[in-house]
Amino acid sequence: MPGSQWPWWRTTEHDRMVLPWFILIHLTAVVGLVLFPLPGWPIFLGALGLSWLGGLGTTVCYHRALAHRALRLQPWVCAILTFFAVFNGSGVPVNWVANHRTHHALADTAEDVSSPVWHGFWWAHLRWLWQAEAPSVAKYCPELDRPWYRVWGPLQVPILALSFLVGLSFGFCAFFWLGAIRLVFSLHAQCFVNSVCHSEAGVPMGEDSSRNVRWLALMHLFQGENWHRNHHARPGLARLGRTWRQPDLGYAAICVLEKIGLAGDVRRARAPDSAS
């Protein structure tokens, strides 16, 4: 990746605001943790709830439904989940899906934009988000290149402003915890999938580096994204955790949506899988 040779502060033309945004939320989160290290249960649970909804938007809508077509969502359900994904800092669906499909197409090669094996942990964890060139939407997700999905581009800034400021009406403690602290937590939870979940020890260069990371389940609020080796083995399935020992609340949410008629065409394994 040419950008991996740049100084860390250099940004690409299309992602100039990503680094300032990351600096803003990290500095604000540090101030918040110093001033209000213990927010109290109502604010803590509020922040956790917003993170959970945002994570659900990313894993169910962006990842499983849009990127891999592992299920079909009713349009208004897709819109609601997209709102919470954007609100949680996951970006807009067109860019997310294009990046993710590029990752699968080029996984564990030098062209894999978020590979820690080829480009280092720091690059894979964060830097590529503001230093890598944007993938081709026309090549990787042409079906999303239409107004229904493009509209989230101009909406992203006001939604993120709302996300950052949402707690202010409940006091300064809520401002920090419902805003920047939650956003930083959610950011790194997602970034660990690119960095930690692609650092299997002893794997030769160019071979599958993905791995399941059990401790990361807590950061993902048990929604299943940490079972990343499972996902790379069978990326088209709606379920990421293969057994009850691998909790996957994202899949549980899909089952509920399917039961009430808000999701369909759920792709499942034809036979039970075994997993370590």
What local confidence, expressed as pLDDT, does residue 1 receive? 60
* CB-count burial class (<10 Å; 0-12, 13-18, 19+) for 276: exposed
Q: Are 138 and 145 in contact (CB under 8 A)?
A: yes
Q: In the structure encoding, which two tokens stand for residue 208, read together?
A: 């599958």
The model's pTM is 0.94
* CB-count burial class (<10 Å; 0-12, 13-18, 19+) for 48: middle
Q: Which residues pair with 263 in a beta bridge?
A: 73
Rg (CA), the chain: 18
110 three-class SS: coil
* CB-count burial class (<10 Å; 0-12, 13-18, 19+) for 79: middle
What local confidence, expressed as pLDDT, does residue 8 receive? 84
Phi, psi of 73 (to 5 degrees): -105, 145
What local confidence, expressed as pLDDT, does residue 164 receive? 98
Q: What are the boundaries of each domain within the chain?
A: 18-206
Termini Cα distance of the chain: 34
Mean pLDDT (10-residue bins), the chain, 276 residues: 76 89 98 97 98 98 98 98 98 96 93 90 94 92 96 97 97 98 98 94 85 97 98 97 96 98 93 44
